[in-house]
Amino acid sequence: MNFIENGTVTSPKGFKAAGVIGSVKPSNTTKRDIALIASDVLCSTAAVFTKNLVKSSAIIVTQKNIANGKAQAVIANSGNANTCNADGEEKALRMCELAAQSLGIDKSDVIVASTGVIGQVIPIEPFEKSVPVLAQLLSENGGTDAAEAIMTTDTVKKEAAVSFELDGKNVTIGAIAKGSGMIHINMGTMLSFVTTDAAVSPEMLKSALTEAVEHSYNMVSVDGDTSTNDTLAILANGLAGNSEITEKNDDYKVFTSALTKLCKTMAKKLAADGEGATKLIICNVKGAKTPVDAKGVAKAVICSSLVKAAMFGADVNWGRVLCAIGYSGCDVDVTKVDVAFESAGGRIDVCKNGAGIDFSEELAKQILLEKEITIDIALNDGTGCAEAYGCDLTYDYVKINGDYRT
């Protein structure tokens, strides 16, 4: 499997995209905020959504549209979440209609997604004006514009693609994503659209996506808040020409492995660009009694506000890591726990068998001043392992969220 240079959601065969300035938020006159992604042919599709009981109307409409496992296009916007609005479903349906009319497809074959401020009525006029333009602008080079159009407080566009061989054919999977705050285990205020030219049945696509998400997007936490809008959808158009994957055979395993690696890459991009973040934090856990225990420990550490604050200050306060492990609720023998910190600046062991050891504060500081830091935890009690992704907690996080709505 190889990552494609400048890869994006239009890297797979038969996919085009575009993004325009629609001024969904009236004050926006400079940033693309409406995206359209379309396949040349009808696709198998699958999606996972927020587990928050409060859901965007876009999610409700999309769930109905893809109940048959088919879709051909995605219409998405930033600037307004279309959540907690009396006319939300009506507006989401209208977005689907506009996309379908412009593309000449059925409105039920459109995935709709929104992100932005909750509780403000979403205007339909920007879509009526912009969607026909988007359809005309659709291009194999439009993935990056679409990636920009779904950004809110993100500081960088998030996109990637991988290629690999499947059934003797070259297959590609591409993705874009947005998400910077309101991101917590079980996704967050996260939109991600994945495309592939592999031939995969809807059932196997849903299974592969579910597996991939458990090891990637669902292992990300920025701030402990689970959003109302998170949507991760994948479309597979089969234009690579491989034999359709209809069962969990070797081809399914190859496809799922590639999808998981791509999703992990996107998850790291999301964590690294957390609101106000200056550092990506990876928590690597091994030697747990079970994989479930490994995940629980990794999640607890990455979610700890005290750990996150220590990483911001480059303070090797390893006791906070042990504290998080202790309240994780997982089956852990704390007298066996080893902890180390690692980055491009080096590696340092700070805890052995649940107790502190002598280490160089100078080297530790050097390690924690890097942009990507790994907290390496060995539980020494089994074979379970997991990896979770987060970021440091900075002053800017409060600044950003103190006036987000205004």
- On the CB side of 342, CA atoms within 13 Å amount to 11
Ordered by start, the domain boundaries in the chain are 2-271, 280-402
Could you tell me how many residues make up the chain?
Answer: 406
Going across the sheet that includes 355-356, the strands are 355-356, 346-352, 338-343, 372-378, 280-288, 384-391
Token pair, residue 78, equals 């930033």
Beta-carbon neighbour count of residue 280 at 10 Å?
Answer: 23
164, with CB counted inside 10 A (0-12, 13-18, 19+), is middle
Token pair, residue 345, equals 């600046």
Element (H, E) at 158: strand 158-166
Whole-angstrom distance, CA of residue 208 vs CA of residue 205: 5
pLDDT score, position 47: 95
pLDDT score, position 226: 54
- On the CB side of 246, CA atoms within 13 Å amount to 2
The one-letter code for the residue type at 282 is I
71, with CB counted inside 10 A (0-12, 13-18, 19+), is buried
Q: Provide the Cα torsion 47, 254, 42, 176; round to 10°.
A: 50
Whole-angstrom distance, CA of residue 303 vs CA of residue 88: 32
Give per-10-residue mean pLDDT for the chain (406 aa).
96 98 93 97 94 88 97 96 93 98 98 91 97 98 97 90 97 91 52 97 97 90 62 96 98 98 94 84 97 96 93 95 96 97 97 97 96 98 96 78 61
pLDDT score, position 401: 64
Q: Which residue has the tokens 């906070």?
A: 320
Q: Are 70 and 203 in contact (CB under 8 A)?
A: no
Token pair, residue 133, equals 């333009």
pLDDT score, position 92: 97
pLDDT score, position 273: 84
pLDDT score, position 279: 94
Q: What is the pTM of this model?
A: 0.87
Q: How far is residue 235 from each of residues 3, 35, 99, 240, 304, measured CA to CA in Å?
A: 19, 16, 16, 13, 35
Q: How far is residue 114 from each of residues 43, 89, 91, 103, measured CA to CA in Å?
A: 21, 12, 11, 20
List residues with catalytic annotation. Answer: 189
pLDDT score, position 187: 42
The CATH number of the domain covering residues in 2-271? 3.60.70.12
Whole-angstrom distance, CA of residue 240 vs CA of residue 246: 16
Whole-angstrom distance, CA of residue 68 vs CA of residue 48: 15
Whole-angstrom distance, CA of residue 57 vs CA of residue 386: 34
CATH superfamily of 280-402: ArgJ beta chain, C-terminal domain (3.10.20.340)
